Structure formats: structure tokens, C-alpha cells
A and B are shown apart, each in its own frame.
Chain A
Amino acid sequence: MKLKKLFILLLIFIGGASLIGCEDSNLIQIGILQYLEHNALSEARRGFIDGLAEADFVDGKNIKIKVYNPETDAPTMALQAKKLVRSSDLILAIATPAASAVVNEAKERGKNIPILFTAVTDPVDAKLIESNEHPGGNVTGTNDMNPIPEQISLVKELVPNATKLGIIYTGSEPNSEVQAGIAKIEAEKIGLQVTVKTIESINDLQQVANQLAAAVDVLYIPTDNAIAGAMGIINEIVRQKKIPAIVGEPNNVDAGGSITYGVDYYNLGKETALMAIKILRDKVSPKDIPSTGLSEYSLVINKKQLDLIGVAVPQELLDKADKIIE
């Protein structure tokens, strides 16, 4: 008895699903798979949709945008990737796991739809594309790698007579390690003497950072999950030792860092939309569109803190800053 009712319920569900599932085939179907609800990722999505609209690809008019979000749930993401690969003319995958799911699914089904990714730090390492210049398959997109050279160049702009740079990160975070390595090379290129220190956890951050700060002119902290949660400690050290701290991403400036160039995810999404437009309007194949990062980064300055420690911010930096904390 109960069983029958349940099945009837199921049938009604499926019936409804098939009704709504019917898609208007005149419109270009654009599928978006966003790994989870997260400020940066949602900004990228907004930027992509707005970017399309600016080129007159408007949702409901000539394109139909479908957004899926598995909230990191693995089986749900697999289901959504399948559905998108089956029914889309172009897919945008936001964040690496989503990109990996979509690319893998399309490859397995032998589907040749163009796939774009955004907010992926290292698409080559994630095996999404063969190289940034020549993506290879039907996949290309934008990465959100920090502009480390630009960030390091801030050292001389802020403290012209600086000679020593201290880099600090959590030893167990491979992502931070990679960035610290690049930062060291970049700093040595402009003639800085670099000291690198690692911490095990935020418990030894205060000690290590204090020692380091006493021996250098400027601190550099890459994006680092552990330290990001303890920016208050860095803020204290900056104020005590009176040396600025360049951080890996804009959020960490708000939380106690001094200054940085960062990735604006809205602009990143817009840049990805330009690729979509090339594919949809100019019929360029994704394999001929190099995968890039942003060409222009946003500058965030914690002027309040820098004033307090007596570092004068050059007017030209203030002029081009996207955000100044007074």
C-alpha cells in the first residue's frame, strides 16, 4: 500500500522533471558549474554573466544560462557535471574540482563541447590543459594565480632603500611553498636579500615572525590558510617592528596586512566571458585561445596602518589604488 503511494509520488516527481526538463532548443545553452557558494567564486560567476550580457548575449534572450552548485558534495557534482555535459553548448566551470569533473565527464562521453574554467590556480598541474599557451583540447580559461612579481615590486616602491625581505609561510601548505619559491626568485632579481622562514602552525607564528621581522626591512606572506586566520598577529608585529607586510591577497590586507596586488574575481569572470564570446561569436576553437590570468590587478592599500608605522605611501600608488583603508 505504502509502496504504491511512494512510487506514485516518484512518478509525479519524474513527470514534473521531464516537463521542466524540456529545453528551448533555439537558445544557446550555457551551463555553469560552481564548486561551492563562496564570495570569490560567486563574483567570478557574476563577472562572466555580466561580461556576456555586455556583448549582447543575454540570458533568456539568445542564451539560456543554467547554474549548478554541488556545495562540494562529490556525488551531486558528478550528477550535475553529467547533466551539463549532456545539455550544454558551452560550459563554465568555476574552481578546480568543478573544472576537473566537467572536463573528465566530457572526455569520457566523447563530447566536444567547449569548456571554460575560471578561479583555477594552476590548470596545467590540474591536468585540465597541456600548457597555458596551447591548451590543446576543447578546454581553456583563466587562472587566479597571485601576481607575485607585481607584489614583490611593491617592496621597492614602498621602502626604496629596502635591502632585506623576509618571507614567512606554513611549511605544510604546498600552495604557499610554491608561491614563496617564486617570490624568492623575484625578490632576488631586484637585488633583495631574502630570508625564508616556515612555521608549523599558528602557535609558533608570533615567535618566528617576530624574529624574522627584527632582521628584515619588509615582510612578504603568500596566500596561506593558517596565517590568513591569524592576521591579527601579523598586524601587531607590523606595528611593533614598524615594517610593512606585503600579503598574498586583498582580503588579508583588510585583516592586518599592509598592501597587495590581488585578483579581482569579478574581472576574472569578465575576462573569461571574453573567451566565451570568441568561441560563440567568432567560432574560435578553445584550443587556439591561450589560458591566461588577469592582465590588470587590483591594488589594495592599508593606509591607516602604513601611516601609523611611518611609511609614506607614494602618491602614484595611492592614485592607482582600487581600495584604500583609511
Chain B
Amino acid sequence: MEVIFYILQDAVEIGLIWSLMTLGIFISFRVLEFADLTAEGAVTLGSAISVALLLNNVPPLVATIIALIGGFVAGAITGLLHTKLKIPAILAGIISMTGLYSINLRIMGKASIYVGDNSTIYSFFQTLIEEPFMAKTLTTIIVVVLIFLILYCFFGTEIGMSIRATGMNQKMARAQGINTDIMIILGLAIANALIALSGALSAQSDKSANMDIGKGTIVIGLASIILGEVIFGKRTFKNWLISVILGSVIYQALVGIAIALGLNPNDLKLLQAILIAFILAMPLIKKKQAKRSSRKEVVNHA
């Protein structure tokens, strides 16, 4: 029983930090329907900025906010490349991601940097609360709830609605008088701001930033989103946002189970791929089953 408790506890602690990244991926891939690869660079950017600033004795909260702004700018640049220079979505993301590699290396000065005993955004509650799990997770929970409320309110405003409309049907949105270019730029900026924030929290939680941290984030994000949608649904926008956050926790729980099962570490990536393929196929399986059961009903009625 203890094992299960720890798997869940770890999943909450890590899943919540990465749920911010998942929300970012959700905004670009789901709300905007934009396959944005900037994400992999933005995670590293967020972690690089925050740790580099912490090492220069910038207050953790300020460092975290500057990391968030860094992600915002990176996303906006991808948006500008796509809308103003007419570069295809995937390429625009790749260009930003490639550029970010050098920028991140410049910010850090080397491939990895360490916070050491400098205080982080987690230090505040860690000095107040003794129990290590709560001490750490409370900070993350506050940030995630705050971001959830801001996103929920924002996507209810006219601008937020316009971003959603742009993602659903760009031509139609333009016909309604929405400046879709600005909405794409703004949407990607917000998405990458969240992704960088997630990177900043993760780096402060791990007390280090390195060039590899962004690897594979899109896959983790997408898998988390779909997992959340399948289990918790997407009836309303609020429900959808919550599903995405919880999806991230569930995903980390599944990884935790795989680790606890003692699977060969080198097979973990394959397992992740199979898991994601399975999750991606879920909607189709669901549809087929629904069809079969409705056919059965018809037969029964006859």
C-alpha cells in the first residue's frame, strides 16, 4: 500500500509542475490548433533564465516572472514568423527552437548550472512547513490554481474568445472581424509563457537547469492532455482545463507505476510510446464501441 501512496504523491508533486507545460501545449495544439515546436526550447528557456537569475541573487518570484516573460517573447516570435513572414507553423516552431538553443546556452554560460543553497520559489513554504511533500507542493498548487483562474477568466473575455474562434475556424473568425494574426501571436505567446513558467518551476524544484530539460516535452504534454480528456472529459472549457491539469498528474502516475514495476529502464521510452499510441487511439476505440453497442440496441429492439 505504501508503494501506491508514494506513486500518487510523487505524481502529484511532479505532475502539477508539468501541468503548466501541459496547459501551454493545450493552448497551442488544442485551442489554436497550431503544432508549435517552440515548446521544447521554451521549457529550457524558462529553467535557464530562472536559475541564471537566482545565481545573481534576484528574488525567486521576480526570476520566475522574468522566465515567464521570456517564454512569452519566444512564443510571440514564433507567431510573428508564422503570420507576418508566412512561414509554415512547424517550421516557425523549429526556427524558434533552434534559435533558443544558442540563447539558452548564452544565458547559462555552459550546458548545466546549479542553484546550490540559494533560495528558490519553494524556499518560502519549505522554511514554514516541515513535511517535505506539502512544503514543496503547496507552492506549485498556488501557482497552478492562480494560472487556472487567470486562463479561465481570460478565455471568457472577448480577446480570449477571439483566440478560441481563430483556432476553431480561422476564415470564419476573420469574417467576424477578428484580427487572426494578432490572436495567433498572442495565443502562442501565452502558451509559451506557461511552458517557460513550468520550466522555471521544474528547475527550481530540481535546483538545476540543463540543456536537456526540454527534450520530449511535447510528447509528455500531448499524452497528458489526451489522457485527461479521455478520463475526465471536455464538456465545458472549465472542465477541459481541469482535465488537462489532472491528465498531467495521471501521466506521471503511469510513469511512476512503470518505474515501480521494475521495467528495464531502457524500455521505458518504448512503453511511453506505446502508452501514447494507445491513448491517441482511445477516441477511435470509444467511437467503434459506441457504434457496436448502438447496433446491439437496435437488434434488441427488433
Q: Which residues of A contact B (CB under 8 A)?
A: 2-3, 6, 13-14, 16-18, 20-22, 34, 37, 66-76, 78-80, 82-83, 86, 96-97, 100-101, 104, 108-110, 125-127, 172, 174-175
Contact = CB atoms under 8 A, between A and B. Distances in A.
A296 to B, nearest CB: 28
B212 to A, nearest CB: 4
A174 B109 contact: yes
Contact of B206 (A13, A14, A66, A78): A78
Contact of A72 (B115, B212, B261): B212
Nearest to A108: B132
A82 B10 contact: yes
B259 A68 contact: yes
B4 A78 contact: no
For the residues of B in contact with A, the DSSP-based class is helix
Nearest 3 A-B pairs (CB), nearest first?
Answer: A69-B265, A21-B3, A127-B116
Interface stretch (B155-163, B172-180, B185-193, B213-221): B213-221
Contact of A97 (B208, B216, B257): B208
B266 A20 contact: no
A136 to B, nearest CB: 12
Contact of B114 (A21, A72, A100): A100
B130 to A, nearest CB: 9
Contacts of A108: 126, 132, 136
Contacts of A69: 265-266, 268
B110 interface: yes
A110 B114 contact: no
Contacts of B210: 97
Contacts of B17: 75
B265 A17 contact: no
A80 B206 contact: no
Nearest to A11: B4
Q: Which of A34, A76, A96 has the most CB of B within 10 A?
A: A76
B109 to A, nearest CB: 6
A100 B116 CA distance: 9
Given A71-B269, A75-B18, A83 B259 contact: yes
B2 to A, nearest CB: 8
Given A71-B269, A72-B215, A97-B212, A104 B207 contact: yes
Contacts of A125: 114
Contact of B261 (A2, A16, A34, A174): A16
Contacts of A175: 110-111
B252 interface: yes
Contacts of B4: 14, 17-18
Given A6-B230, A17-B7, A108-B136, A74 B259 contact: no
Interface in B1-58: 1, 3-4, 6-7, 10-11, 13-14, 17-18
B295 interface: no
B255 interface: yes
26 contacts: A2-B286, A2-B289, A3-B231, A13-B254, A13-B257, A16-B261, A18-B1, A18-B3, A34-B265, A37-B266, A69-B266, A69-B268, A70-B268, A71-B266, A72-B215, A74-B202, A74-B212, A75-B252, A78-B10, A78-B14, A79-B11, A79-B256, A100-B206, A100-B207, A104-B206, A108-B136
Q: Which of A13, A67, A125 has the most CB of B within 10 A?
A: A13
A86 B10 CA distance: 11
B261 A86 contact: no
Given A71-B269, A100-B207, A110-B132, A17 B261 contact: yes
Given A14-B7, A100-B208, A127-B114, A20 B260 contact: yes
A54 B205 CA distance: 38
B252 A79 contact: yes
Nearest to A21: B3
A82 B206 CA distance: 11
Contacts of B110: 174-175
A76 B252 CA distance: 8
A79 B3 CA distance: 13
B112 interface: yes
Contacts of A127: 114-117
B10 A6 contact: no
A125 B213 CA distance: 19
Contacts of A21: 3, 260
Interface string B123-138: 0001000001000100
B280 interface: no
Contact of B215 (A68, A73, A80): A73
A16 B6 CA distance: 15
Q: Which of B18, B105, B212, B255 has the most CB of A within 10 A?
A: B212
